[in-house]
């Protein structure tokens, strides 16, 4: 291209610049001048450099799925760059990742895994901690096999803001099914539901009764401790607690939670029989005045009562309450297995008082331990026929 009689310019136009075009370009010129038969030859050159800046990298966090970033879960911060057109040789790409404008170490640690493959660099937080929240950016640097300095590092990427939320409070459920009467079955379930994506967590769920550990189960996710009682005994009554402990050692996370329920049992009504043995007290086949007579009150309580109870027997003649004295001797009940026997001795039968009289024994069973309720009293009686002298 002629600019003037003394100036000429030559242009090298790149219609589509690519990475193969980078380098140092030299423009050389020669000039021959004839001045009255004297030739003057001149040469000159000038250099310029064509360099290319790496495209702006992109920062992404996975898995995303529009879900919240929860402390204790696994997330990967990726920095990637796309070369269009590609570099003439396989590039050696490296990245610098920044959080809040502070460069992060691109090395493995106890909680972070650094991986670089091809044109992508990634930091995997295993797991996330609150300290990982912030604005993430990155820059990319590339060198070809000749370590060409004309490939200029990229500018910083756009920011990716990561907000790390607290681990949701686990859901604890403590359920019991059936079982409010002695001899029935009872099932207690202590269940904790935790976030599915939590990494490397240790979960322990335990069932405690009245401060004593009954059972415990460990796991790494949703965990259930369970007890099944085929036949409830009175010793199974009490204050039950579902205690949950969750830890994540990498982020010093610990959760402790508890739910409670009470198993309150009601004692069954005792069966009562009142009888007497008249052998040796009969005259002509009848009870006779002046003889003593032992009337027995026999109460059967449930075989499933294995805690302390107090059994009380009270006696009446017709509607009159009887007490120890000259007329009567009352022996407290004596237990054999789950049967209690009490004795009322009539010291001397009298026709005018005892003939046709109804002797009744009333039995009450009172629990001596908490979480057990007294049942209904029960009673029975006999009617005497006494012959006068």
pLDDT digits (tens, 9 = 90+) for 275-311: 987 766 666 667 888 888 999 999 999 999 999 999 9
Does the pLDDT of residue 96 top 80, yes or no? yes
The owner of tokens 């996975």 is: 62
For residue 181, give the DSSP letter: B
CATH superfamily, domain 271-387, is: Immunoglobulins (2.60.40.10)
Question: Higher pLDDT residue, 189 or 152?
Answer: 189
Sign of torsion, CA 113 117 119 120?
negative
Q: Which CATH number fits domain 171-264: 1.10.3470.10, 3.30.1330.60, 2.60.40.1180, 2.60.40.10?
A: 2.60.40.10
Q: Are the beta carbons of 367 and 267 closer than 8 angstroms?
A: yes
Task: Please check whether residue 177 is in contact with residue 251, taking contact to mean a CB–CB distance below 8 angstroms.
Answer: no
Least confident among 8-22, 97-111, 230-244, 253-267? 8-22
Question: In this predicted structure, what is the pLDDT of residue 219?
Answer: 95
Q: E strand or H helix at 38, and its extent?
A: strand 38-50
pLDDT digits (tens, 9 = 90+) for 335-381: 998 899 999 999 999 989 999 999 999 999 999 999 999 999 999 99
% of the chain surpassing 90 pLDDT: 58
Q: What pLDDT score was predicted for residue 341?
A: 97
309: tokens are: 């109870």
Task: Give pLDDT tens digits for 210-221.
Answer: 999 999 999 999
pLDDT at 24: 86
Q: What is the pLDDT of residues 4-55, one digit of tens each?
A: 556 777 888 888 777 777 788 888 888 777 676 667 777 888 888 888 788 8
Contact 76, 124 (CB under 8 A): yes
Please give the pLDDT value at position 366.
96
Helix, strand or coil for residue 71?
A: coil
Q: Which tokens go with 374?
A: 């007294």
0.95 exceeded by pTM: no
For the stretch 100-149, pLDDT in tens is: 999 998 888 889 999 988 888 999 999 999 999 999 999 988 776 666 66
Specify the pLDDT at position 144.
Answer: 66
Mean pLDDT computed over every residue of the chain: 88
pLDDT, position 248: 94
For 306-336, what is each residue's pLDDT tens digit? 999 999 999 999 999 999 999 999 999 999 9
Residues 113-119: contacts with CB under 8 Å, at least 24 apart: 118/93, 119/80, 119/81, 119/82, 119/83, 119/91, 119/93
Burial 224-262 (b: 16+ CB within 10 A, else e): ebebeeeebbbebbbebbbbbbbbbebbebebeeebeee
Bigger pLDDT: 96 or 67?
96
Average pLDDT over residues 222-250: 95
User: Residue 192: its pLDDT value, please?
Assistant: 96
Architecture of domain 53-165: Sandwich (2.60)
- 3-state helix, strand, coil split of the chain in percent (to 5) is 5, 55, 40
Q: What is the DSSP string of 190-207?
A: EEEE--TT--S-EEEEEE
Domain with CATH 2.60.40.10 in the chain: 53-165, 171-264, 271-387
Residue 87, pLDDT above cutoff 70: no
């Amino acid at each position: 291209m002629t600019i003037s009689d003394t100036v000429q310019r030559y242009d090298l136009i790149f219609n589509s610049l690519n990475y193969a075009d980078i380098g140092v370009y030299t423009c050389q010129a020669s000039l021959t001048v004839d001045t009255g038969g004297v030739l003057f030859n001149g040469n000159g050159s000038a250099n310029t450099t064509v360099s290319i800046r790496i495209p702006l990298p992109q920062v992404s966090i996975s898995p995303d799925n529009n879900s919240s970033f929860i402390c204790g879960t696994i997330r990967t911060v990726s920095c990637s760059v796309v070369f269009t057109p590609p570099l003439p040789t396989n590039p050696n790409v490296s990245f610098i990742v920044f959080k809040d404008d502070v460069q992060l170490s691109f090395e493995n640690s106890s909680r972070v895994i650094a991986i670089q493959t091809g044109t992508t660099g990634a930091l995997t937080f295993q797991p996330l901690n609150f300290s990982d929240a912030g604005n993430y950016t990155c820059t990319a640097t590339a060198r070809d096999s000749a370590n060409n300095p004309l490939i200029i590092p990229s500018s910083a990427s756009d920011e990716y803001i990561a907000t790390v939320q607290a681990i949701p409070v686990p859901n604890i459920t403590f359920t019991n099914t059936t079982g409010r009467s002695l001899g029935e079955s009872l099932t207690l379930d202590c269940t904790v539901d935790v976030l599915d994506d939590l990494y490397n967590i240790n979960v322990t769920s335990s069932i405690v009764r009245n401060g004593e550990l009954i059972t415990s189960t460990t796991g790494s996710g949703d965990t259930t401790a369970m007890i099944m009682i085929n036949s409830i005994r009175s010793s199974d009554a009490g204050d039950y607690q579902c205690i949950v402990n969750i830890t994540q050692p990498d982020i010093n996370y610990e959760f402790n939670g508890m739910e409670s329920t009470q198993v309150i049992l009601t004692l069954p009504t005792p069966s009562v029989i009142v009888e007497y043995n008249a052998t040796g007290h009969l005259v002509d086949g009848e009870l006779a005045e002046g003889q003593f007579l032992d009337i027995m009150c026999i109460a059967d309580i449930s075989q499933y009562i294995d805690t302390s109870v107090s059994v009380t027997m009270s006696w009446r003649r017709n509607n009159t309450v009887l007490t120890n004295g000259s007329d009567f001797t009352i022996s407290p009940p004596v237990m054999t297995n789950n049967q209690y026997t009490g004795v009322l001795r009539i010291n001397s039968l009298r026709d005018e008082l005892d003939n046709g009289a109804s002797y009744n024994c009333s039995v009450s069973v009172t629990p001596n331990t908490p979480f057990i309720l007294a049942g209904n009293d029960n009673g029975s009686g006999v009617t005497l026929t006494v012959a006068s002298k």
